[in-house]
Amino acid sequence: MSTKKIALLSVLMALGIVLNGLENLFLPWSILPAPGARVGLANIVFLIILLLANFKTTLTLSLLRIIILNALTGTLATPVFPLSLGGAVLSLSLMKLSRLALGEKLSLIGLSIIGAIGHNLGQLLVLMVLPGLFPGISALYLLLPGLLLMAIPAGMITGWVVKLIYPTIAREWRNI
């Protein structure tokens, strides 16, 4: 991979960190259907990286983003960290598998919705595998319907943004 491509991936990862931080800072929780629900603006960046680079690179950058953000926000040693990891790994895995299986037949919006739902299911798997981390686990399961409902419009929004900007970024990627 060329130095310019590595630089572009670094800029995209930094943008993902900024978008995630801004979303945490400014999005009022009161307007969302479930506590902890988010649009997932950083997913815009990581869907673009998944389309440009290979799965290993995308997963590595996503995990780095999660570690950096959790370190900056002081949540590295809290349940937020494994929930973020589980969500990211399953989300990226499902998007990659969907893209391999369906190719261009699956729209970017559809791919983004799969990623958003996968993120919530990944978090649910973490809850099931590590129940000791979450004392009130039964209450957390009650949030799942609201989170899954939120995943569809969130995936549509992020997918729409990717659909708008990906062609320009892909053209630049090919030229470097």
- Where in the chain are the domains? 3-175
Residue with tokens 């929930």: 83
Q: What is the CATH number of domain 3-175?
A: 1.10.1760.20
pTM: 0.90
Q: Dump pLDDT digits (tens) for 11-50.
A: 999 999 999 888 877 766 555 656 667 889 999 999 999 9
Q: Would the CA dihedral through 92, 98, 104, 105 be positive or negative? A: negative
CA angle 126, 25, 152 (to 5 degrees): 50
Q: Dump pLDDT digits (tens) for 71-120.
A: 998 989 988 899 999 999 999 999 999 999 999 999 999 999 999 999 99
Alpha-carbon gap, residue 89 to 24, rounded angstroms: 20
Average pLDDT over residues 135-147: 75
